[in-house]
Structure 1
Amino acid sequence: MSYDNNSAATPGYFNANRTATVTVNEHNFNAAEVNAQITAALQGSGVAAPGLGGWSTNGDVHTASVTFSADADYTFDVDYTDLAGNAAADYTQDKFTVDKTDPEVEFFDIEDKSANNGTVAPGVKYSDVNYMESGVDITIKGAKHDKTELSGNRTNIANGESIKMEDFKHDEETDDVYTMTAVIKDKAGNETEKEVMFSVNRFGSNYIFSETTEKFLDDVYANKPKDLVVTEVNVDSLVFNGISYGLDGTKKELKAGSDYTVKQSGGEGSWKEYTYTIKKENFEKEGRYSVTIDSEDKATNKMNNKVKECNIDFVIDKTPPTVVITGIEESSYRADEREMTINLSDNTAVKCVDVIIDGKSVATYAQKEIEKAGGKISYMIEGASEPQKIEAAALDMAGNETTSEMHKVLVTSSVWIQYINNTPLLIGSILGIVLVAGGLIWFFVIRKKKEESK
């Protein structure tokens, strides 16, 4: 006996047709003496079983086959006695199941793509003739809530189970767009995956930022504006919506079409989406912006993004910070060290400043240190044997950079080092020595000549 399909997801369970071939090797073969016993049952009740097909012969080798194609639990046994009365070795009965039917999954007490502002307690039930508990994976995930396994009241049903969730909490944090996903796999490996998407919206609209907009708002500070893309989701259609912004205390109403566009989706009986694209040209001026999206739905709920704590606040800063070093000049200082002060200011805030000596960063001060020092950072210049080139480079929160004027300063307690690094004094000293030496030479030469003439 041989089978063409031995790929069982679980031992004994197959999700495709299975054909068995009976082979008898006998010279005195008599097909009438082959006794094939096949039974078929579905959920405990007998169903029509297939029969062994006709025999084909090739010398002493005789074969016949039977295909198991219908969903059923099968047994298959075969006996044979030849013309001389010799019985074949006893064959151990085969038992297996063919199941080509996917599990059934049904969500209840919730509608796909529905918006809900009352009781929201969805459920799901699933069943299969060859159901197995380990093949069940049901999760729920919100746009602002992590994926979790579904929990609720579990009830056994015929060939499966039913789960009924409790009502979602009636608080603003629970409002979200949720997706419930059910993946059910039976013993034969058949799999059904279904999902239902719905919103819990008892407190007005939900707002979702595009990935680019969310990153832009997370950064808070920028040196150039970007288009803002925001999607508003509501249980009902909106009867009014408008957008405005405040810039350093001044409010401006934006015009649909020219200042922003709106793309609407969602039909009757489903949730409504309004995707606003607010053009970057509205935010060319420097300053602190706060954008408000106002709306009112058919249920007369008035709302805006700020009420839902989806703030659209950011700062446009195109001006580099100011960096001025004081306490040192183009000079030399007779000391082991010299204190200088880096004076910093910016339209918004300085993120960090680097002290650079001879082209290398020797110290970095972060925003908190700068703010604590009131924008005046003190730095002690250590002594050196030659003049040092000192400057400071600052970066503000928007990414603007600037570098201070460079100062060339000699700090040393050595008089000799100061002397040899003082070019005018050094040159003057050399010239003085040359003149004195020349005068002495001239004096002795003239004197010698006078003595010789006498």
Structure 2
Amino acid sequence: MTYDNNSVRNGKYYKANRAAHVSLVSTSFDFVQANDERRVVVTTVADGSERTVLAKDFKNPSGDGKTWLADVACDHDADWSLQTSFTDQAGHSAPAYRSDFTIDTVKPFLNLSFDNNKASSGSYYNAPRLASVTELERNFSPGESSIIVTATDAGGAPVGSPAPSAWADTGKRYEHGSTVSFGQELHYKLLIQATDLAGNTAQEVQEPEFVVDLTKPQVRISQVADKTAYAGKVTPHIEFADTNFEPALAQYELTRTRDPYGQKAQKEGGAAKEEPKKERHSVYLKAQEQKGTNTRSISLPDLEHTVDNDDVYTLKATIEDKAGNKAESQVVFSLNRFGSNYVIDEGTRALLGEYVHKPPVVKVSEINVSGLQTDKSHVEVVHDAAVRSVNPGSDYQAVNADDTGWQKTDYVFPSQLFADEGYYRLRMTSTDLAGNLSQNTMAGKDHERKGTAEVNFAVDRVPPSASVVGLRDHLVVYQPVRQLVVNAKDDLAVASVQLRIDGQTVGSWQESQTLEPMTYRLLADGQAHDIDLTVVDKAGNTSRVSYTAVVVTSSRWAYYMAQGLLLPGIAASIVLLALIMLATVLSIRHHRKVAYRRNVFMR
């Protein structure tokens, strides 16, 4: 038995098909073909599938009658086994021949995958990566399957690279796997090659250079401290640094509480400039900047020493490197070169200059650069003309939030301080550690540094008085015109007065008119009218008075009728006349009865 392909590798592996040539030398083989043509001469097994070459399949191309030939095609990938066996009619046996080999014409297939594919800037990763390599190959050769890892530092110098794990069966047919862990902050490249036992070479798999960067960038703000107030020069300095620095992603912003554009416009008598919302309170300064390969530094100039620049500032610096690692630094500081300023709580701000029915809780915050000298600070409550000093702790609460020199004091004045009716004002006086004297009644002390931060309001729980002079229920007046004079008064201030006759409003007076006479001319019409008077004070307290069946007439008959005097008079006259007539009749009868006493002729 001979083969046309003898390019063997690793003892029995061939990467091309083979054809076996079987030569049988026997002078009696023609007799076997004639009488036993289905005798098996050659048996082939390919991956368990058996085929046979029979006696009838042999040919004698030379015609010599003794050299017989047959071909066996090993034409597909498989583990092959060929075996011969022949005994002639005389009982002579040829030596048995067996050949085992493998045909493999398929290249190995390589696959590479990662557990982390979240790259930034194309090839930068901010978390470790695990590479999984699989090779699909029937005739796997671990010694010829290689995973080549190269690693360099940020400067490009070669360093030790991670080693792949040993190849292992994945559990899938013909598949083997290996892993490589990339957990150090280095630049990596990956090359995967494979050749099977038959010499088939896989297509190489390469992973271009990628970078693992687990470290956050550095950002530092100096020359200004968080929650610190400054009365002098302030020149913040910002430094950015990172191994994989990305200049476009190193940014900073200085913002302030108030809108500088609105301030300027209002001072100049114009409208506030409309700015994008996110930049509305930004402060733009001409900074000095220095750039390095992996660094950037910024120096901001001092703000001009003006009242307008006294404010709370936030300097925020952010950086993101090429791998997506982020870092930020932020400082909040105050420039207060002109003493304290006061921030009135939103709820308290709604009370200012108002009249309220219920004693309120008043909240005010005082912001100061250097902190207050508590022994030189005090609060007074002015009630009408009376001034009363109040003490923290017992009369009101004062809570300090101070750190590294910046101080914010939150004052809470309970409603008990304003329990009595009347006008109230708060006078807050403080002296800071720099010696600045501040009062909330001083100009430029409100939260915008524009006006005062005065707190004033009035408490009024008593309804106003309301009456129409000289009116009462069922009043009848004999006049051509009745002048209705409204009497509306309040302990503090009247807001509105409304006079209604028979449901119709005939008179309405507002606050600005209360000093003028409030009158209405009710003409004589002899009709009964219902008159209502409603008075509302500025605290919302309301009083209402009503008069029913009020009559104004210019007719005496109507007047008497309306008064109810005419009918009783007539009745009394009739009764009197009847009594007179009765008395007359009785007198005549009596006179006749005693007439004989006066006439002598009747005796």
TM-score, normalised to structure 2, is: 0.57
**Matched position secondary structure for 2:333:** strand
Aligned to 1:32: 143
CA contact under 8 A between 1:344 and 1:375: conserved in structure 2?
no
Aligned to 1:398: 539
Answer yes or no: is 1:190 the counterpart of 2:301.
Answer: no
Summarize the Cα distance change of 1:177–1:149 in structure 2 as closer, same or farther, 3 Å threshold. Answer: closer
Measured in 1, the distance between the counterparts of 2:384 and 2:207 equals 86
Q: What do the CA deviations read for 1:32-76 (whole angstroms, capped 9, x no partner)? A: 333434344454433633232221124521111112222334333
Q: What do the CA deviations read for 1:205-262 (whole angstroms, capped 9, x no partner)? A: 233344544444x463322323433333341441521112333344333344433344
Aligned to 2:389: 253
State the 1:423 CA deviation: 9.7
Answer yes or no: is 1:242 the counterpart of 2:416.
Answer: no
CA contact under 8 A between 1:295 and 1:303: conserved in structure 2?
yes
Q: What do the CA deviations read for 1:285-311 (whole angstroms, capped 9, x no partner)? A: 333222222222333222222222222
Summarize the Cα distance change of 1:289–1:410 in structure 2 as closer, same or farther, 3 Å threshold. Answer: closer
Summarize the Cα distance change of 1:68–1:151 in structure 2 as closer, same or farther, 3 Å threshold. Answer: farther
CA contact under 8 A between 1:130 and 1:188: conserved in structure 2?
no
Aligned residue type for 2:162:
P
The one of 111, 136, 155 aligned to 2:289: 155
Q: What do the CA deviations read for 1:295-350 (whole angstroms, capped 9, x no partner)? A: 223332222222222222222222334455689986899xxxx9988765544444
The one of 411, 425, 429 aligned to 1:276: 411
Aligned to 2:232: 118
**Matched position secondary structure for 1:371:** helix
**Matched position secondary structure for 2:205:** coil
The one of 420, 427, 440 aligned to 1:285: 420
Q: What do the CA deviations read for 1:332-379 (whole angstroms, capped 9, x no partner)? A: 99xxxx9988765544444556677888x979979xx64267567789
Listed as ranges, the matches of 1:17-28 within 5 Å are 17-28=128-139
**Matched position secondary structure for 2:323:** coil
Identity of aligned residues (%): 29
Measured in 2, the distance between the counterparts of 1:83 and 1:363 equals 115
State the 1:27 CA deviation: 1.8
| Structure 2: 5+ residue stretches without partners | 1-111, 261-278, 446-451, 552-557, 568-603
Which moved further from structure 2: 65-74 or 324-333?
324-333
State the 1:202 CA deviation: 0.8
1 or 2 for the larger relative contact order (CA 8 Å, sep ≥6)? 1
Measured in 1, the distance between the counterparts of 2:216 and 2:166 equals 33
The one of 184, 192, 197 aligned to 1:78: 192
Q: What do the CA deviations read for 1:106-126 (whole angstroms, capped 9, x no partner)? A: 111101222210012323333
**Matched position secondary structure for 1:93:** strand
Decide which structure has the larger Cα Rg and report it. Answer: 2
Measured in 2, the distance between the counterparts of 1:262 and 1:270 equals 17
State the 1:171 CA deviation: 2.4
Aligned residue type for 2:537:
D
State the 1:4 CA deviation: 1.0
**Matched position secondary structure for 1:45:** coil
Which moved further from structure 2: 72-81 or 307-316?
72-81
Q: How many residue pairs are counted as aligned between the two chains?
A: 415
Aligned to 2:355: 221
Aligned residue type for 1:403:
S
Aligned to 2:255: 140
CA RMSD of aligned residues (A): 4.6
Measured in 2, the distance between the counterparts of 1:212 and 1:112 equals 29
| Structure 1: 5+ residue stretches without partners | 412-418, 429-454
Aligned to 2:69: none
Summarize the Cα distance change of 1:19–1:256 in structure 2 as closer, same or farther, 3 Å threshold. Answer: closer
Aligned to 1:310: 453
Aligned residue type for 2:390:
L
Measured in 2, the distance between the counterparts of 1:358 and 1:91 equals 101
